[in-house]
Amino acid sequence: MAYYVLIDDGGARGVRFGCNDSLAGVRRSSAVPAEPLQSAMTALLDGSAEPAPGLYNALSASSLTFLSGTFDGNTVTVYLSGALRPGGVCDIPRVEAQLTQTAVTSAGASRADIYVNGVGLAQALSLK
């Protein structure tokens, strides 16, 4: 399951966040079905694939690669490399929500720690 954005949906069809957007989960097929975290993150980061009509991927301009991930029973930790390229101020909470919700759901975790090039996601996004 990878999560995408319903722009200006106001929570009507998903979880409301950020700039009055909603998150919606989409089941995507992957070449690595035995590893749910890797499969979900790889599907989300594949900017070449359109998620579904009406859904927006705030990560589509970024060139991120899933390196690894761990789950300790509560927190999923994800390591990514590459370049984050949000398309504007509203894309910052979209990127954060998409990555976090996809990681948490795929691992069955209650929280996620995401690192891009060794830097925490919040810090990586603040540099944009």
pLDDT tens, residue by residue, 56-82: 999 999 999 999 999 999 999 999 999
| Inter-residue contact 46 to 57 (CB < 8 Å) | no
pLDDT of 119 reads: 96
Name the pTM for this structure: 0.92
pLDDT tier for residue 128 given thresholds of 50, 70 and 90: low
User: For the segment 18-36, what is each residue's pLDDT rounded down to a tens digit?
Assistant: 999 999 998 866 555 568 9
pLDDT of 51 reads: 77
pLDDT of 27 reads: 84
pLDDT of 74 reads: 96
